[in-house]
Amino acid sequence: MSTPKLHSSNFFSGRLVSLRGKRTKAEFARFLGIPAPMYHRYELGQIPKNENLKVIAGKCGVTVDSLLSGKEVVIGSNDETAYWSKRVDELEAKLEMVSQALALILQGTETLRKAVK
């Protein structure tokens, strides 16, 4: 399996540096949840796989398109609307899972109370 080649100049690496701000590379890598050496390669120009692009975009509150193109997504644009719509759907699904888990926990707690009586 080959890895993407490093490119000395691309929009992605510049966008990462911009998003990192004053944080160190190691701090930003921890924030993103990826190994520091991997993050360093990204700043050198390696383009991440789709899964990591989505993680980075999500953690930074930007779209994958803006990471790769260097263009800021205009508020209210179709791209941004689609991005936030997808994020809302993902968060609603997670909330539903948490609600179901809580209901099971409460049900188990009630069962234990009855058994102890």
What is the domain-level CATH number for residue 37? 1.10.260.40
d(CA 63, CA 54): 8
The answer on 89 and 50 residing in a single domain is no
Residue 72 pLDDT grade (very low, low, confident, very high; cuts 50, 70, 90)? low
The answer on 37 and 8 residing in a single domain is yes
The answer on 47 and 13 residing in a single domain is yes
The answer on 10 and 57 residing in a single domain is yes
The answer on 66 and 22 residing in a single domain is yes
The answer on 90 and 61 residing in a single domain is no
Say how many C-beta atoms besides its own lie within 10 A of residue 92's C-beta: 10
One-letter amino acid identity for 109? T
The answer on 110 and 65 residing in a single domain is no
* pLDDT for the residue 38: 94
The residues, ordered by sequence, that sit 6+ positions from 54 with a Cβ below 8 Å of its Cβ are 64
Both tokens of 49, joined, read: 């796989």
Q: What is the pLDDT of residues 10-66, one digit of tens each?
A: 778 888 898 899 999 999 999 999 999 999 999 998 989 888 888 898 888 888 888
Residue 23 zone, left/alpha/beta (φ > 0; ψ -120 to 50; rest): beta
Both tokens of 51, joined, read: 């899964």
For residue 110, the enclosing domain spans 74-117
d(CA 72, CA 60): 13
Domain count for the chain, please give it.
Answer: 2
Q: What is the pLDDT of residues 74-92, one digit of tens each?
A: 445 566 667 777 777 788 8
